Copies of this chain bind each other. A is one copy, B any other.
Amino acid sequence: MARELPNLQGPVCPLPLQHHDQILMGHGSGGKMSHDLITRIFLPPFDNPSLRAGDDAGLVKIELQGESNKGVMTGHIAISTDSHVVWPLFFPGGDIGRLSVCGTVNDVAMMGAKPLFLTAGFVLEEGLDVNTLKAVVASMQTAAAEACVMIVAGDTKVVQKGKADGIYINTTGVGLIPPGIEISGSRAQPGDVVVLSGPIGEHGIAVLEARHELGFTANIKSDIAPLNHLVRAMLETSNQIHVMRDPTRGGLATSLNEIARQSSVSIIIDEKRIPINPAVSMACELLGFDPLYIANEGKLIAIIAHEDAERVLHAMHSTRYGEEAVIIGEVRTEPKNRVLMRTTIGSTRIVDIPSGEILPRIC
């Protein structure tokens, strides 16, 4: 193993946490600066086990009391929130409405929960075309119907022209975790297999294309999709799925690093096994982006006990959003908290978390 990893012999520098005086775009990147902001500003006052877990959704226990002293029953629910500020509002393959529903449905589903209810909080910019809002709301409903979730509460605020960018949407999701399900970023175990549900980078490149920042036509559609039915099919097949996560902001690299740190393990992936649409690959090459860091909105990573991996993969292949699922790597003991990649040319390199901004306002 040591011979495979010469670049690990050097010192692993901890990130110098800079005390920025101002919020920078990078604080919204999902990378190290975001992590820094959460660790320095949000966690100390709010500290509690749900937040500290650092998963896609907060896991909480509720106790229902039966009528007329029928006793108490305990259950677990997953709660997740996401504010969406993507620009432009419409892009190939989706729009802020579909994104806002799928993003939160997926975060709840990644805990193994069945997403049931969503709320929608709108911040609208004065002067917004009502037909734009109508199209976004219709798209939300289409996505909610596909995911079988109900939007049960809403709120609308209007801010003066120039104090928003058309529409910002917060969606918060509540889902029920079936008894016996325990999925968390902290449960990856050496020997586990890393599965990816399909090709990466499509959402990020589609949004860039809509911004006319590619300089060419890539004809890439965002992969935005609700993944809860895929998750259900997987959980019905195996009770040894340890981790699930959707690699959104910060991409596959960031999600895998989060898991490696939460579980104190090493994750090693094979570059040649990672599916990438050739057009995404080309766009990344031309723009100097690494597709490992590009946002996805319809993909999941699953970390599964070795003996169940093939069976789960088979179940995934029978679902709409899991047809292209593949094994991309495995979990090891050392080097802890690290993600490594065997490259196509045979070397092994560290895959780190990006520091700050790669693509702002991608979700």
| Contacting residues of chain A (121-175) with chain B, CB-CB under 8 angstroms | 121-131, 133-134, 137-138, 140-141, 144, 150-160, 162-165, 168, 170, 172, 174
Query: Can you report 17 residue pairs joining A to B where beta carbons are below 8 Å apart?
Result: A23-B129, A23-B133, A24-B158, A26-B158, A28-B156, A41-B137, A42-B156, A45-B138, A46-B141, A46-B151, A46-B154, A64-B75, A64-B176, A81-B155, A83-B123, A172-B172, A174-B174
- A121 and B82 contact, CB distance less than 8 A: yes
Whether A158 lies near B64 (C-beta < 8 A) is: no
Q: Which residue of B lies closest to A136 (CB)?
A: B41
Q: Most chain-B Cβ atoms within 10 A of its Cβ — which of A28, A63, A70, A127?
A: A28
State whether A153 touches B119 (Cβ < 8 A). Answer: no
Copies of this protein chain in the complex: 2
Residues of B within 8 A of A46 (CB): 120, 137, 140-141, 144, 151, 154
Distance from A222 Cβ to chain B, minimum over Cβ atoms (Å):
18
CA distance A315 to B130 in the complex (A): 47
A312-363 CB contacts (< 8 Å) to partner B = 360-361, 363
Q: Which residues of B have CB within 8 Å of A23?
A: 124-130, 133, 158
Chain B hits for A121, CB < 8 A: 81-83, 121, 170, 172
Assess whether A16 is interfacial by the CB under 8 Å rule. no
List of B residues within 8 angstroms of A128 by Cβ: 22-23
CB <8 Å contact, A153 and B83: no
B159 touches A85 (CB 8 A): yes
A50 within 8 A of B: yes
